[in-house]
Amino acid sequence: MEDTLRGLLDALQHGSISVEDALAHLRGAGESDLPSVTLDHLREARTGFPEVIYCPGKRDDEIAAIAVRLGASAGRFLATRATPASFDAVRALVPDARFDADARAIVFERQPAARVGLVCVVNAGTSDRHVAAEAACALDVMGNAIARIDDVGVAGLNRVLGHVGALRSANAIVAVAGMDGALPGVIAGLTDRPIVAVPTSIGYGASFGGLAALLTMLNACAGGVSVVNIDNGFGAACAASHINHLAVDGARAPQ
């Protein structure tokens, strides 16, 4: 889509199309309709990544139809909270799509982008892996180099202490934890990296489906912790991706 826009602006600059023609093209390119769906094909030009398909609440055939449109216009797509049945419907129309079972995500890239910078995705326990995998999968397709650090919850503090060097080398850290949700605050006390904390719904009764972890993270004593919604690995990935790409762009900028 970015290449299309550049070509359109170049043609307008050189006078080969009129302003009215350019406006007509933009109106047509910006949105396309399917039954009950209006796709935003200019999302990538504004935010750096195409519109993402959130699968719950959509039929498998709807997900597949949206995926075809996004793949054609943007050359890549990400579908979150997908099921194997959704993937089968998508793969029937987009054979090169792949399914990440841990992340519960469908991914397609016509030409994989370079993976730049570094984001660490850390989880407190194996039970948090689906949320951590969603974050890692989204970060990957958004063009970030990632490092996974799994099962390092604070019940065994030595586990996370063994990864401090790796954590300090990242431009951003996504920290995923359920139960008491203490891991992001501990990491914030060990590094100077920005941390995006993700509470998960993992835990016993008084965890209240992740509310206890959410409140712990919001009340972290150590500074530098930002918090997204419960189980929202994708939202954490978006925030961390912006941080990482800004860091990479800043390092490349002439001094």
- For residue 3, pLDDT over 90 is answered with no
Closest among 78, 35, 101 to 234, alpha carbons compared: 78
The dihedral over CA atoms of 142, 222, 184, 191, expressed in degrees to the nearest 10, equals 60
3-class state of residue 108 by DSSP: strand
Cβ–Cβ contacts within 10 Å for residue 51, how many? 19
CA pair distance 6, 179, nearest whole angstrom: 49
| pTM listed for this prediction | 0.84
Q: Tell which wins on pLDDT, 179 or 33.
A: 179
Residue 28 is predicted with a pLDDT of 52
Q: What is the pLDDT of residues 135-191, one digit of tens each?
A: 999 999 999 999 999 999 999 999 999 999 999 999 999 999 999 999 999 999 999
Nearest-5° Cα angle at 119, 207 to 240: 65
State pLDDT tens for residues 60-119.
999 999 998 888 877 889 999 999 999 999 999 999 999 999 999 999 998 888 999 999
Split at pLDDT 50, 70, 90, the class of 37 is: confident
User: Would you state the pLDDT for residue 43?
Assistant: 79
More confident site: 162 or 44 = 162
At 33 the pLDDT is: 60
Confidence of residue 243 (pLDDT cuts 50, 70, 90): very high
What domains sit in the chain, N to C, each tagged with a CATH number? 2-109 (no CATH), 116-252 (3.40.50.1970)
Kindly state the average pLDDT of the residues 48-58: 89
Query: Token match 């949320």: residue?
Result: 131
Distances in whole angstroms, Cα of residue 126 to Cα of each of 130, 132, 150, 151, 205 = 9, 9, 7, 6, 19
The mean per-residue pLDDT over the stretch 183-211 comes to 96
Q: How far is it, in rounded angstroms, from Cα 222 to Cα 150?
A: 22
**Contact at 8 Å (CB) between 94 and 67?**
yes
Strand 172-177 versus strand 195-199 pairing type: parallel
Per-residue model confidence (pLDDT) at position 45 = 75
DSSP 8-state assignment for residue 110: S
